Structure 1
Amino acid sequence: MTRLVHLSDLHFGYERESLIYPLLDRVNRANADLVVVTGDLTHRGRSAQFAQAAAFLRQIEAPLIAVPGNHDIPLYKLADRMTKPYKRYKRAIAQNMEPVGHVGNLRVQGVNSVDPMAWQRGVLTSTQMRRVVDGIEPKCVNIVAMHHPMQQRPEIDKALMRGAPEALALFELQGIQVVLTGHLHIWSVGAFLGPEGRGILQIQGGTALCAREDDLQNEFAVLDFDGPDLRIERHVAPMNESGFRDPEILKFTRIDRRWQPDGQS
Structure 2
Amino acid sequence: MKRILHISDLHFGRLIPKVLSVLNQKITELSPERVIISGDLTQRAKTSEFIQAANFLDGLIPPYLITPGNHDLSTFRLHERFLYPWKKWQQFITADLEPTIATEAYKIIGINTARRVGYSADWSRGRINARQIKRIQDFFTTASPQKIRILVAHHPFWLPTGHQHRGLIGGAETAIQQFQQNGPDIILSGHVHLDYCHVHGGIIISHAGTTTSDRLLSGYPNSFNLLEVDPDKILVSRYHWSGNDFAYLTRQLFIKQTDGWYEQ
The TM-score with structure 2 as length reference comes to: 0.91
Contact 2:210–2:216 under 8 Å retained in 1: no
Which of structure 1's runs of 4+ aligned residues deviate more than 3 A?
Answer: 213-216
Matches within 5 A, 1:111-190: 111-118=111-118, 119-136=123-140, 137-139=142-144, 140-156=147-163, 157-190=165-198
Q: Distance in 1 between matches of 2:206 and 2:124?
A: 20
Q: Which moved more, 1:241-250 or 1:113-122?
A: 241-250
Q: Distance in 2 between matches of 1:187 and 1:34?
A: 20
Of 218, 221, 226, the residue aligned with 1:217 is 221
Give the corresponding residue for 2:247. 245
Give the corresponding residue for 2:86. 86
Give the corresponding residue for 1:106. 106
1:236 equivalenced with 2:240 (yes/no):
yes
1:149 is paired with a residue whose SS is coil
Tell me the amino acid that sits aligned with residue 102 of structure 1. A
Q: CA deviation at 1:247?
A: 4.4
1:217 is paired with a residue whose SS is coil
Tell me the amino acid that sits aligned with residue 212 of structure 2. L
Deviations 1:78-99 (A, max 9, x none): 1211111111111111000100
Q: Distance in 2 between matches of 1:93 and 1:230?
A: 29
For the aligned residue pairs, the C-alpha RMSD in angstroms reads 1.5
Q: CA deviation at 1:246?
A: 3.2
Of 201, 204, 222, the residue aligned with 1:201 is 204
The TM-score with structure 1 as length reference comes to: 0.91
1:25 is paired with a residue whose SS is helix
Q: Distance in 1 between matches of 2:217 and 2:236?
A: 25
Q: Distance in 2 between matches of 1:213 and 1:158?
A: 15
Q: Distance in 2 between matches of 1:10 and 1:146?
A: 15
Task: Pick closer, same or farther for the CA change 1:102–1:33 going to 2, 3 Å.
Answer: farther
Give the corresponding residue for 2:24. 24
Q: Distance in 1 between matches of 2:186 and 2:216?
A: 30
Q: CA deviation at 1:58?
A: 1.4
Q: Distance in 1 between matches of 2:80 and 2:183?
A: 38
Q: Percent identity?
A: 27
Contact 1:178–1:200 under 8 Å retained in 2: yes
Give the corresponding residue for 1:2. 2
Q: Which structure 2 residue ranges, 5 or more long, are not aligned?
A: none
Q: Distance in 2 between matches of 1:175 and 1:45?
A: 31
Q: Distance in 1 between matches of 2:171 and 2:36?
A: 23
Matches within 5 A, 1:52-67: 52-67=52-67
